[in-house]
Amino acid sequence: NKVKIRGLSPAGQRSYHNGSVLIGVDLSTLNTDGTTFRCRDGSKTIPFSQVNDDFCDCESDGSDEPGTNACPNGKFYCRNIGSVGKTVFSSRVGDGICDCCDGSDEKLNPNSKCKNTCQADAREANKGRQQELDITLKGLSIKKEYIAKAERELREKRASISQIEEEVSKLRHKREEETATRDRLQKEEEEARAALQPAETVTPPPPTPVEEQPASDEQLEEFAEEGEYEEEESAEAEYKPSPSPPTHHAEDERLQPYVEATRKQREVVGDLDRQISEKERSLEDIKKAISQTYGHQNAFYGLLGNCYHADTPEYTYELCPFDKVNQNSKRGGGSTNLGTWSDSDQTDEWKSHQRQMRYTNGLRCWGGPDRSAIVNVLCGSDNVLSNPQEPNKCEYHLNFHTPAACSEEHAQFLRMELSGGSHEEEEDPEAVPVAKGWGLF
Amino acid sequence: VDRGKYKTCSQSSFCTRNRGVTHDGYHIANLHRKSDSQFTADFVSPYLQGRSLTFELTGLLDNTVRVRVVESLPKRYQGPLEVLEPLQEAKLSEKQKSSESTEFTLNSHVTVRIDFYYDGRHTLSANANDFLNFEHLRSKEEDDKIVPSQIPNDEATQPEDYNEAESGPWQRPTKENPKKSGRWEEHFGGHQDTKPNGPTSISMDITFIGSRYVYGIPEHASSLALTPTIRVGDANEREQVTDPYRHYNLDVFEYELNNPMALYGAVPFMIGHGAHGSSAVFWLNSAETWIDVETTTKDASGREKVGTQWISESGNMDIFFIIGPSGHDVLRQYAALTGTTALPPQFTLGYHQCKWNYKDETDVANVDSGFDSHDIPYDVIWLDIEHTDSKKYFTWDQNYFPTPKNMQEKIGDKGRRMVTIVDPHIKREGGYHVHSQAESNNYYVKNKDKNDYDGHCWPGSSSWVDYLKENARDWWEQLFSYYNYQGSTPRLYTWNDMNEPSVFNGPETTMNKDALHLDGVVEHRDVHNLYGMTMVNATARGLIRRHADQNERPFVLSRAFFAGIQKHGAIWTGDNTAGWDHLAVAQPMLLSLGLAGVAFSGADVGGFFGNPDAELVTRWYQAAAFQPFFRGHAHLDSKRREPWLFGEPYTSVIRDAIKSRYQHLPLWYTLFYKNTLTGLPPMRPLFLEFPSEEKIWNNQDQFLVGRELMVVPVTRSQQTTSRVVFPGAQKWYDITDGSSHAGGTEEEVNVPLEKYLVYQQGGTVVPKRERARRTSQHMDTDPFTLQIAVSREGTAEGELYVDDGHTFDFKKGVYSYNQIKLENGNLTYKTLGGVYESQLLIEKIVVYGLSSAPSSVTTVSNEKLDFSYRNGKLVIRKPNLPATREWSLQIKA
Q: Which of B219, B304, B575, B656 is catalytic?
A: B575
Q: Which residues, given as ranges, of chain A have pLDDT below 50?
A: 1-2, 15, 17-33, 209-243, 422-441
Please tell me which residue, A192 or B100, carries the higher pLDDT value.
A192
- Which among B359, B659, B844 is the nearest to A72, CB-wise? B659
Closest residue in chain A to residue B845, using alpha carbons only: A55
Residues A91, B843: C-beta atoms closer than 8 Å: no
- Which among A53, A389, A392 is the nearest to B639, CB-wise? A392
**Looking at this predicted complex, what is its ipTM?**
0.88
Any idea which of B57-66, B99-108, B291-300 has the lowest mean pLDDT? B99-108
Is any Cβ of chain B less than 8 angstroms from the Cβ of A369?
no
CB neighbour list of residue B268: distance below 8 Å, 6 or more residues apart: B217, B247, B282, B283, B284, B285, B289, B291, B310, B563
> SS3 for B856?
strand
Residues B771, A367: C-beta atoms closer than 8 Å: no
Is any Cβ of chain B less than 8 angstroms from the Cβ of A45?
no
In angstroms, the separation between the Cα of residue A34 and the nearest Cα of chain B is 21
pLDDT given at position B101: 65
Sort out which chain B residues have CB atoms less than 8 A from A91's CB and list them: 375, 377, 771-774, 778
Percent of all residues in chain B with a pLDDT value above 90, rounded to a whole number: 89
The whole-angstrom separation of Cα B105 and Cα B94 is 6
Judged against a pLDDT cut of 90, whether residue B249 lies above it is answered with yes
pLDDT given at position A239: 44
Residues A55, B771: C-beta atoms closer than 8 Å: no
pLDDT given at position B93: 83
* Active site (annotated) includes residue B466: no
Is any Cβ of chain B less than 8 angstroms from the Cβ of A333?
no
What values do phi and psi take at B466, rounded to 5? -90, 90
In angstroms, the separation between the Cα of residue B476 and the nearest Cα of chain A is 32
Judged against a pLDDT cut of 80, whether residue B773 lies above it is answered with yes
pLDDT given at position A198: 61
Is any Cβ of chain B less than 8 angstroms from the Cβ of A204?
no
Sort out which chain A residues have CB atoms less than 8 A from B787's CB and list them: none
CB atoms within 10 A of CB A346: 18
Answer whether B125's CB lies under 8 Å from B204's CB. Answer: no
Sort out which chain A residues have CB atoms less than 8 A from B659's CB and list them: 72
Q: Residue B721 — very low, low, confident or very high, per pLDDT cuts 50/70/90?
A: very high
Residues B663, A72: C-beta atoms closer than 8 Å: yes
Is any Cβ of chain B less than 8 angstroms from the Cβ of A141?
no
Answer whether B186's CB lies under 8 Å from B13's CB. Answer: yes
pLDDT given at position A36: 75
Amino acid at B242: T
- Which among B359, B772, B877 is the nearest to A91, CB-wise? B772
For B87-173, strand residue ranges (E) read 93-94, 102-107, 113-118, 121-126, 133-134
The mean pLDDT of B764-773, rounded to a whole number, is 97
CB atoms within 10 A of CB A35: 12
Judged against a pLDDT cut of 70, whether residue B690 lies above it is answered with yes
pLDDT given at position B181: 73
Answer whether B642's CB lies under 8 Å from B360's CB. Answer: no
The whole-angstrom separation of Cα B692 and Cα A418 is 75
Is any Cβ of chain B less than 8 angstroms from the Cβ of A150?
no
Question: pTM for this one?
Answer: 0.87
Q: Which of B193, B219, B497, B689 is catalytic?
A: B497
Judged against a pLDDT cut of 80, whether residue B461 lies above it is answered with yes
pLDDT given at position A249: 62
Sort out which chain B residues have CB atoms less than 8 A from A390's CB and list them: 359
Per-residue HEC secondary structure of B672-718 comes to HHHHHHHCCCCEECHHHHCCCCHHHCCCCCCEEECCCEEEECCCCCC
The whole-angstrom separation of Cα B180 and Cα B158 is 19
Burial B681-711 (b: 16+ CB within 10 A, else e): bbbbbbbbbbbebeebbbbbbbbbbbbbbbb
Is any Cβ of chain B less than 8 angstroms from the Cβ of A110?
no
CA dist list (Å): B605 to A46, B221, B262, B358: 41, 16, 22, 17
Sort out which chain A residues have CB atoms less than 8 A from B640's CB and list them: 391-392
Please tell me which residue, B179 or B467, carries the higher pLDDT value.
B467
By a Cβ cutoff of 8 Å, what residues of chain B touch chain A?
359, 363, 375, 377, 399, 413-415, 636-640, 659, 663, 770-774, 778, 843-844, 877-878
Strand B570-572 relative to strand B556-558: parallel, antiparallel, unpaired? parallel
pLDDT given at position A69: 94
- Which among A54, A90, A393 is the nearest to B637, CB-wise? A393
The whole-angstrom separation of Cα B62 and Cα B92 is 11
- Condensed to tens digits (0 to 9), the pLDDT of residues A277-305 reads 999 999 998 888 888 778 888 999 989 88
Sort out which chain B residues have CB atoms less than 8 A from A372's CB and list them: none
Any idea which of B40-54, B151-165, B242-256, B472-486 has the lowest mean pLDDT? B151-165
- Condensed to tens digits (0 to 9), the pLDDT of residues B208-241 reads 999 999 999 999 999 999 999 999 998 889 999 9
Strand B417-421 relative to strand B380-383: parallel, antiparallel, unpaired? parallel
Sort out which chain B residues have CB atoms less than 8 A from A97's CB and list them: 413-415, 774
Residue of B655, B662, B771 for testing the chain A interface, max A β-carbons within 10 Å: B771
Residues B844, A55: C-beta atoms closer than 8 Å: yes
Please tell me which residue, B502 or B104, carries the higher pLDDT value.
B502
Judged against a pLDDT cut of 90, whether residue B2 lies above it is answered with no
Answer whether B461's CB lies under 8 Å from B496's CB. Answer: no
What values do phi and psi take at A58, rounded to 5? -85, 75
Please tell me which residue, B50 or B817, carries the higher pLDDT value.
B817
pLDDT given at position A421: 52
Listing DSSP states for B747-760 in one string gives EEEE--TT--EEEE
* Active site (annotated) includes residue B62: no
Residues B375, A367: C-beta atoms closer than 8 Å: no
Sort out which chain B residues have CB atoms less than 8 A from A71's CB and list them: 771
The whole-angstrom separation of Cα B564 and Cα B809 is 23
Residues B774, A95: C-beta atoms closer than 8 Å: yes
In angstroms, the separation between the Cα of residue A68 and the nearest Cα of chain B is 10
The mean pLDDT of B60-69, rounded to a whole number, is 95
pLDDT given at position B98: 52
Q: Which of B71, B143, B500, B526 is catalytic?
A: B500
Residues A89, B844: C-beta atoms closer than 8 Å: no
pLDDT given at position A387: 93
The mean pLDDT of B503-519, rounded to a whole number, is 97
Listing DSSP states for B159-193 in one string gives -TT--TTS--TTPPPPTT-HHHH-SS-EEETTEEE
Residue of B361, B375, B644 for testing the chain A interface, max A β-carbons within 10 Å: B375
* Active site (annotated) includes residue B384: no
- Which among A55, A367, A391 is the nearest to B843, CB-wise? A55
Is any Cβ of chain B less than 8 angstroms from the Cβ of A173?
no
Closest-CA residue to B735 (of B701, B709, B712): B709
Residues A92, B774: C-beta atoms closer than 8 Å: yes
- Which among A95, A96, A391 is the nearest to B640, CB-wise? A391
- Which among B415, B640, B770 is the nearest to A72, CB-wise? B770
CB pairs under 8 A between A and B: 58
